[in-house]
Amino acid sequence: MEKEINLKELFDEPKVMAVIGNSNQAKSNLIYYLIKQINRGFEFKLYTYGLRSDLRKANKIYSIQELEQIKDSIIFIDEFFTLFDLEDRKKKKQIENTIRLIYHNNNILVLIGLPENFKKFISSKLNIVIYKKVKILAWRSIDERKSIRTY
């Protein structure tokens, strides 16, 4: 069952959202579509990281320091794990402070990535999740995976 997305509700206040999907499931295409739709009905500042196509009215960012300076905007970060080093435990505090600052600066942050990139730490920061096709795995042992269901 498909639910129609109400863009006004999705982009109404500061929050952290995620678009999660397997490789080659058109996550970036969904982002381009969302940007096109919100451009039609809203006036906003747009910042992007990692999107392959240039967008009109979009400002590209290249670092966390640039991200922390943004105010009153919508920010799309494709393949967010290349910007946030979640494997380094020391940097998790910095990432947490960055996300807190994003809220404080009245921004909406959209993280785009593969299911395995959304570890417990970053998943706990999400307000809204949009799933594309995702394969969920259960662990029976360290060396064996069993596919449960594909969504």
Q: Give per-residue pLDDT as tens, 109-125.
A: 999 999 888 888 888 88
Q: 26-39 pLDDT, tens per residue?
A: 888 889 888 888 88
Flag whether pLDDT at 150 surpasses 70. Answer: no
User: Does pTM top 0.85 for this prediction?
Assistant: no
What does pLDDT average to over the chain?
83
122 CB neighbour count, 10 Å cutoff: 21
pLDDT for res 4: 64
DSSP H or E segment with residue 35: helix 27-41
What is the rounded distance in angstroms from the CA atom of residue 2 to the CA atom of residue 147? 23
Contact between 138 and 28 (Cβ < 8 Å): no
